[in-house]
Structure 1
């Protein structure tokens, strides 16, 4: 499929990275296959995660087709961009159609990006994951790539104002080795392990900071508190 929209969007994102002087560290990008289908399953801490998860696949010269809620495709600004980049709309009332579209993309040799938690984690830990990523990888017979993103929440996350003028923020992108698409629990465990490693190696201390999880000394909600906040909404 022709990609006339995706390359200019990537160029605009790279310009944003330079203007903000983001300190981006990419690890494990060699695990993204240079050809053929793959499912890239990333944790979700920011509204900008699709940009950075996609950036993790660029060294392999792959363009990731992300699954995203259909409301984003209906917006007058983001809609044309999402459709032009051939992302996949997800209508939670008609999920099978989205699943089949993603499956077709994988069988056609595309990399499909999924945030298995479905929504942003307020606790900055990995929530329970939905079954789509594991099912798709198993049915399509493609690699399942657990991925961790860290630092992106400092730019724009749920319940906090946007900080898109903040400069020099470190951002970590870790693509793990492919795992067998067996169970959702196995995927969640591996994603949390990668996230733990990214948090431990992060170049700035977040103790006492809102963007650090509670178990590492930050003031983010605990997973239990985050679940209660999500339930109220």
Structure 2
């Protein structure tokens, strides 16, 4: 029985209302009202779990997101995540994590995955991991792309939270794919193309006043000043190097 999820969904809707959040959502009819489905969500902020699960919530469903093991290892975060039925992903045990997702899907759940694996600091669609199409194929369920836009202005990586009112958020739910798993690379490329097209529609749907020249939350190709995909990748590589050094130093101590 879900005890935590309904409370959080109700709290989120209250937040949306009190903050006069300007949410534009389309394609929710692609979320099935019963049976398993895998939703693949882009990742631009720390609130994408909330927005990525909103379409399913509007259809009376809860999304069980796949999340890295480290979150479940935190004393407070772990029990909280498990109370939602989210799925633990151990990047060093990919097969087991994939099996957990497949079992949940075959059990009729909606499972959420971030196929970029990490937050995109360029705010564009990064290279996707093939896990999404392989999981959907093995579980024999639809793979549904979801793109969220505008969440980075609330809580982006490396920036302070902004809870001001009237944030515009765009959410597009795309048509389902039915991966076969015969060519995961090609099917992943197709998923990426679809998500890129959806993202562009979301970006351009906002009025020009929401896309000021040089805005940090806009990709450079749309007139903003966000890092390019290459610059963001280099920054992430350096971040991982520093994190590994810090972890090694802690072990030595």
- Indicate the TM-score class for this superposition, using the shorter chain for normalisation: over 0.9
2:73 is matched with 74
1:232 is matched with 238
Output the CA distance in 1 between the equivalents of 2:85 and 2:4.
9
Q: Does 1:177 align with 2:175?
A: yes
Identify the match of residue 218 of structure 1 among 209, 217, 224. 224
Normalising to structure 2: TM-score of the pair?
A: 0.88
3-state secondary structure, aligned to 2:170? strand
Q: Does 1:97 align with 2:96?
A: yes
Q: Does 1:201 align with 2:205?
A: yes
Answer whether contact 2:21 2:167 (CA < 8 A) is retained. Answer: yes
Answer whether contact 2:219 2:228 (CA < 8 A) is retained. Answer: yes
RMSD: 1.2
Which has more helix, going by share of residues?
A: 2
Normalising to structure 1: TM-score of the pair?
A: 0.96
Point out the more displaced range, 115-124 or 7-16.
Answer: 7-16
Output the CA distance in 2 between the equivalents of 1:63 and 1:206.
36
Q: Does 1:189 align with 2:185?
A: no
1:51 is matched with 50
Q: For residue 61 of structure 1, report the CA deviation from its aligned partner.
A: 1.0
Point out the more displaced range, 35-44 or 203-212.
Answer: 203-212
Answer whether contact 2:141 2:178 (CA < 8 A) is retained. Answer: no
Output the CA distance in 2 between the equivalents of 1:180 and 1:105.
17
Output the CA distance in 1 between the equivalents of 2:226 and 2:171.
21
Output the CA distance in 2 between the equivalents of 1:77 and 1:7.
19
Structure 1 ranges of 4+ moved more than 3 A: none
Q: For residue 59 of structure 1, report the CA deviation from its aligned partner.
A: 2.2
Q: Which has the higher contact order (CA 8 A, sep 6+)?
A: 1
Point out the more displaced range, 95-104 or 177-186.
Answer: 177-186
Q: What does 1:1-233 correspond to in 2, within 5 Å?
A: 2-163=1-162, 165-181=163-179, 183-203=187-207, 204-233=210-239
Paired residues, what number?
Answer: 231
Output the CA distance in 2 between the equivalents of 1:59 and 1:16.
15
